[in-house]
Amino acid sequence: MSGKFHDGVRVPTRIGDNLFSEKSKEKLRKIASGAHHTLALTHSGKIYAWGDPESGKLGRVVNTRNKNNNALMIDRVNASHHPVDIYAGNHHSFYVSQQGKVYAWGLNNHGQLGVGHKNNIHLPEQVLALDGQTILMLAGGEHHSIAVTGEGKVYCWGRNDEGQCGKGDLYG
């Protein structure tokens, strides 16, 4: 990658040559993208992130105030509970561990991480309210999140000023 971090990339351009290649030990399993960040999950259970480091959405503590340096770096997320799946909201992210536990990090100004407070989180924190659920799908909007379980239950949390969490009356 070269140039300023804000220059557009108008054609598909290969990234992470040293990390994501045929010769690398790391083989990609899944990618997920938010509004200004991207996640990559490898078959070995490592998560990598790059993009805008603000609000903790890259899942690591930023060591410099230089946004350009952090945005250009593809680096590991501190996900220590063997991730098997990843999901991204606009400014927040999730992973599901091999044990079925959900972890969240990033912007949390409306409780969109589901961790019981509204502080931004730089390192993945467990979403305790989803313990015991088999999560099939997770999705993050701008300021809310939603999950579907193996039993067909739907959970939603975060901003609800426009009815995003579906807590209104049902139409019948």
If one compares 38 and 171, the residue with the highest pLDDT of the two is 38
CB 102 within 8 A of CB 124: no
Predicted local confidence at residue 73, as pLDDT: 80
What is the enclosing helix (H) or strand (E) of 124?
strand 121-126
Mean pLDDT over 116-143 rounds to 96
Query: How many CA atoms within 13 Å lie on the side-chain side of 125?
Result: 22
Predicted local confidence at residue 89, as pLDDT: 97
Return the domain boundaries, the chain. Answer: 28-158
Mean pLDDT over 94-120 rounds to 97
Q: What is the DSSP letter of 97?
A: E
